[in-house]
Amino acid sequence: MESQKFAKELIDFIYQSPTAFHAVDSVEKILSDCGYKEIFENEKWELNKEGKYFVSKNSSAVIAFQIGNGELEEEGFRIIGAHTDSPCFRIKPLPEIVSENAYLKLNTEVYGGPILNTWLDRPLAIAGRVTLKSNNIMKPMTRLVNVNRPILIIPNLAIHMNRNVNTGIALNEQKDLLPVVGLINDNLQKDNFILKLMAQELQVNIEEILDFDLFLYEFEKGSLIGINNEFISSSRLDDLAMVHAGIIAITKASYSKATKVMVCFDNEEVGSSTKQGAGSPMLAQLLERITICLDLDREAYFRTLSNSFLISADLAHAVHPNTAEKADPVNRPIINKGPVIKISARQSYTSDSFSVGVYEAICKKALVPVQKFVNRSDERGGSTIGPISSQHLDINSVDMGSPIIAMHSIRELAGVEDHLMAERSFEEFYKS
């Protein structure tokens, strides 16, 4: 079954991408295998029509683009945006903490807005980026690391000592959510545990390590579940599902008049206000640079933007079967019923009647059904990269995503059919 095969590819992609750094690495491998050429910000670009390129930022954001064969200022950009990061825990500097002269714990802080109690009592692993000394003090080396073993756990407190646990308790992020590594003994010493572990994993001397960006992730791989394998249960579906669908769509796309762009931002879960986030000029500068490299001026750049369109792809909320009253009384997305257009009077989503009409027409042409999401009028809801990108790019934009349940849980629930339908809508968009 094509949809299940594609869903399994997504699960593999997610498991190979435990952090934003690894997600970009996974994306770059797909792009390279499909004939895309890597270019670098600090080098002079020589771009050609029908050329396929990608460029990364901070090793945690990446933009792929395929230059069309039409006139850029007339055909515009066809852009899909998603994000590489997910809520989790980040390891602090000097993280080793000893409890009762016996247990070794790691000092962590929360990244983004995870559902905290879903991280308890689960085997956890560590992954991220390590920065190493080089011959150039201004350009240290970086290496990815993935300790793909269940070496950590955040244990719950027994109900006998916490009688209110099933009626709701507040978890203290500094006290209740520190992961346990093991028992201190001759083989496990407190001093420099993390640095020693990184040196061992990377096979370098500990003195070579300057710093690290390390995160916890769920060790268990995602899976297809449900009586008919109709669901995807996995960590980091938000938003690696849209990253995967968008990257596959752009690599499948044939040449056309418009220039196709797939941008994977970082740091959406913490506000996007970083050099690699949607709140930065990263995308706007890349689009202008493409314009310049095609021997066009700034006037042509603005004309190009006016003929461009952005799909902001970030997962949407499906109606929860156990708490259906939390959804809008009329607009009620269901898993495996198609992509969801997200709409908000507060403009927390960019969708308006024009952009909604465009995306609906694209889905109709792709034979993909469409659903709509609005928050209950007494619930504020969240936002995403669409409105943030609009602060730098005044182009028509729609916010959409596949419907899921348990967003920001360590293990989210999506639909097998939805993932394939989203990718098909992206393919059709890139044809337009």
Cα–Cα nearest to 342, from 295, 279, 280, 407: 407
Lowest mean pLDDT among 9-13, 254-258, 288-292: 254-258
Average pLDDT in the chain: 96
DSSP letters for 289-354: HHHHHTT--HHHHHHHHHT-EEEEE--EEPPPTT-GGGS-SS----TTS--EEE--TTSSS---HH
Q: What is the pLDDT of residues 304-348, one digit of tens each?
A: 999 999 999 999 999 999 999 999 999 999 999 999 999 999 999
Q: 124 near 218, Cβ under 8 Å?
A: yes
Q: 55 near 63, Cβ under 8 Å?
A: yes
Query: To 10 degrees, the CA torsion angle through 269, 275, 278, 279?
Result: 100
Determine the length of the chain: 432
Q: Is the pLDDT of residue 134 over 90?
A: yes
Q: Is the pLDDT of residue 383 over 90?
A: no
Radius of gyration for the alpha carbons in the chain, expressed in angstroms and rounded: 22
Q: What is the helix (H) or strand (E) element at residue 10, kind and residue range?
A: helix 2-15
Question: Counting Cβ atoms within 10 Å, is residue 286 exposed (0-12), middle (13-18) or buried (19+)?
Answer: buried
Q: What is the pLDDT of residue 174?
A: 97
Q: What is the pLDDT of residues 97-107, one digit of tens each?
A: 999 989 999 99
Q: Is the pLDDT of residue 189 over 80?
A: no
Return d(Cα 103, Cα 119) in angstroms, integer.
19
Token pair of 225 as six digits: 């579940």
Label residues 267-283 b or e (16+ Cβ within 10 Å = b).
bbbeebebebbbbbebb
Cα–Cα nearest to 346, from 325, 318, 374, 326: 374
Q: Is the pLDDT of residue 410 over 80?
A: yes
Token pair of 230 as six digits: 């109709």
Count CA atoms within 13 Å of residue 408 on its CB side: 16
Q: What is the pLDDT of residue 231?
A: 98
Q: 399 near 386, Cβ under 8 Å?
A: yes
Whether residue 239 has a cis bond before it, omega within 30° of 0: yes
Q: 212 near 91, Cβ under 8 Å?
A: yes
DSSP character at residue 158: P
Token pair of 15 as six digits: 């498991």
Return d(Cα 73, Cα 258) in angstroms, integer.
9
| Number of C-beta neighbours around residue 137 at 10 A | 7
Instruction: Using DSSP bridges, classify how beta strands 61-66 and 259-265 pair: parallel, antiparallel or unpaired.
Output: antiparallel
Q: What is the pLDDT of residue 392?
A: 87
Q: What is the pLDDT of residues 66-89, one digit of tens each?
A: 999 999 999 999 999 999 999 999
Q: What is the helix (H) or strand (E) element at residue 91, kind and residue range?
A: strand 88-99
Q: Is the pLDDT of residue 186 over 90?
A: no
Strand partners of residue 83 = 265
Q: Is the pLDDT of residue 51 over 90?
A: yes
Q: What is the pLDDT of residue 379?
A: 86
